[in-house]
Amino acid sequence: MLAAFLPSAAGAQEPDPAAVVEAFHTARANARVWVEDGPEPALSAAGRAVRQALQDADREGLSPADYDVPAAATPQALDRAVTAALLAYLTDLQAGRIAPRKADPDLFVYRREVDGERLLQTVADASDPARTLADLAPANPVYRRLRRLLLEYRGLAETSGWGTLPAGETLKPGMTDARVGMVRRRLAATGDLTMPADPTDRYDETLEVAVRAFQRRHGLDADGAIGKRTVAALNVPVEQRVRQIELNMERFRWMPDEFGDDHVFVNLAGFELDYVRQGVTRLSMRVVVGRQYRETPVFSDRIRYMEFNPTWTVPPKIAIQDLLPKIRKDPGFLSAGGYEVYAGWSDDAPQMAAGSIDWTAFGKDRFPFRLRQTPGKKNALGRVKFMFPNRFDIYLHDTPAREHFRRSVRTYSSGCIRLEKPLALAEALLRGDRQDPAQVDDIIGAGQTTRVSLATPIPVHLTYLTAWIGEGGTVEFREDVYGRDALLAEALGS
């Protein structure tokens, strides 16, 4: 079930649609499928059901104009035109309108392989084509919840959506301001608040509860203060939210319907990690992801082992760009941080005394040193890292920089993913792997670098979602911190 989301699916050759249409009709001895018998081209009941599904493609976040059935002079031409339009619709519905990397080179997921001829046969042989077509939509529960949300927000758009809250001083509980009534109406539009029978311009406790809930589901600091970021979120037009929902439905068409009974799911745009065991979310935590100029890529793999008390070999780019300026400024930086210096990258490269090196003589064009941080409290990887070896050198890890988890926007890493509760995840993975989680404390206490392999590697999915509905029914939106919504919208031509 994970093949379409894992690296092994890369490079699959998509079949020629015209060849699929021809093979489908040849297999049925060119008998009419969607058209009535007779000299004139007229759709049968099955053909009308297909046409209706194509006209209703917007329910799936697709454009009906992409599946228009042109007029045809003969019944045979109409039959094939319906087949071609249906094939295009089913392919887009199940695999997405475009290949992910055509939208964004940092997306390392791949379109599902769609057996178009089989899908056409499934619809053609169905006793209820309309029901069958509905069942062929992605079965992922989050996708289906987004589909319902799309209908709801389109309804809001048709009734003029909501107004715009003007700029001004930060609104705080207890204040009286003419804008308070506007905030009430805005929150009532999306169900965050029930309008009181006799509303006033005072920012009361009931409104504060609603504002905090709105802030939480938009990834903002839930402090109840209506400042610039909260006003900006309130003022996003409903039409933009509709488009955001459609873009995230497209992303779910790239994903498998099931992520695995046991898996780790990281939403980079939401800065959150969920550990799912036997289909139930057992652990959630905040994460820190890559800075905007060192974005964490989207891909899936499997966590194969954990390394406790890890060392950190500093990547050359980070050594030059991040550490070298600090080393030049403070000669004691390396020793204070537990760094060792080696005269090269070979296994037998000799260790050097940091104080013997003139660091001002080196830079991006000449930096022959390998920097290695020993285990300890200051180690950049903390006490444990979770390894799923990949070409991006991305992994999950602990961090001594705990202050970043208190922020609502958490883009501070060099690409890897820092975890709020790394030891809780380590214990949960060991427990799920039928190993003793109590060993974690003993291993860390010993202070030695220790690898613990998982008998059954667990899928890990790094995703980028800016709109979804949680298991409790909460509608969640996030800022497009990496600009990937914008790239996808551009690639889709909208």
Q: Which value, in Å, is the radius of gyration of the alpha carbons in the chain?
A: 27
Tokens of 345: 């990258």
Give me the catalytic one of 25, 218, 263, 397.
397
Contact status, residue 461 vs residue 301, Cβ threshold 8 Å: no
Tokens of 193: 């608040």
Tokens of 143: 């996708």
Amino acid identity for residue 143 in this structure:
Y
Would you call 416 a catalytic residue per the annotation?
Answer: yes
Phi, psi dihedral angles at 179 (to 5 degrees): -75, -15
Map tokens 């001002």 to a residue.
360
Q: Which pairs from 486-493 meet CB under 8 Å and 24+ separation?
A: 487/103, 487/104, 488/103, 488/104, 488/247, 488/250, 488/251, 489/243, 489/247, 490/103, 491/98, 491/102, 491/103, 491/104, 492/97, 492/98, 492/103, 492/247, 492/250
Give me the catalytic one of 25, 218, 263, 416.
416
Please give the Cα distance from 233 to 482 (Å, whole number): 17
Would you call 25 a catalytic residue per the annotation?
Answer: no
Contact status, residue 76 vs residue 42, Cβ threshold 8 Å: no
Active-site positions?
A: 397, 416
